[in-house]
């Protein structure tokens, strides 16, 4: 028997039971992950605030490094340089400056966007009841 795109496949009873239990487990794990992510976000916020407090005090007192007796480690102040993000607007601006032509920059942007690989991904989503 050939199946057409409009054919509805009715799953077996055991598959339906497995589907229900799988969805329940999936939701439970999804909720756990969300709670953990919330906890991580909270801790990162606290860490960032503590970083600023520690850095401010160390700079104020000209302290470049502190030896920690409890762990044997050190707390250091380090400087590094980081580049700004590269979004479409910034890239357009940089290409305009490079080519000294808005037209060539737009053409280059079009080429870059059309050349980027696009992949399609299927995933499950959960919508909370209203």
Res 31 pLDDT > 90: yes
pLDDT at 40: 99
Break the chain into its structural domains and give their ranges: 11-76, 85-116
pLDDT at 7: 67
Q: Mind listing the pLDDT tens digit for each residue in 70-86?
A: 888 999 998 899 888 88
Average per-residue pLDDT for the chain: 89
CA atoms within 13 A on the CB side of 120: 0
Question: What is the pLDDT averaged over residues 92-101?
Answer: 92
Residue 9's pLDDT band (boundaries 50, 70, 90)?
low
* Interatomic CA distance for residues 88 and 106, integer angstroms: 11
1 vs 29, more confident: 29
Residue 1's pLDDT band (boundaries 50, 70, 90)?
very low
Given the DSSP bridges, would you call strands 74-76 and 65-67 parallel, antiparallel or unpaired? antiparallel
- Give the tokens for residue 54: 């520690």
C-alpha to C-alpha distances, 119 to 76, 88, 108, 116, nearest whole angstrom: 43, 20, 22, 10
pLDDT at 124: 80
Q: Mind listing the pLDDT tens digit for each residue in 38-66?
A: 999 999 999 999 999 999 999 999 999 99
Neighbours of 10 (CB within 10 A): 7
116 vs 45, more confident: 45
* Interatomic CA distance for residues 38 and 123, integer angstroms: 22
């Amino acid at each position: 028997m050939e199946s057409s795109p409009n054919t509805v496949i009715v799953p077996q009873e055991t598959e339906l039971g497995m589907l229900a239990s799988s969805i329940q487990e999936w939701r439970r794990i999804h909720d756990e992950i969300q709670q953990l992510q919330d906890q991580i976000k909270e801790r990162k916020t606290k860490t960032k605030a503590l970083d600023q407090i520690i850095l401010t005090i160390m700079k104020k007192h000209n302290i470049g490094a502190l030896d920690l007796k409890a762990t044997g480690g050190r707390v250091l102040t380090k400087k590094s340089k980081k580049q700004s993000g590269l979004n479409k607007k910034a890239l357009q601006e940089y290409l305009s400056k490079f080519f000294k032509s808005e037209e060539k920059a737009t053409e280059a942007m079009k080429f870059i966007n059309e050349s980027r690989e696009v992949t399609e991904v299927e995933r499950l989503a959960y919508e909370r009841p209203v």
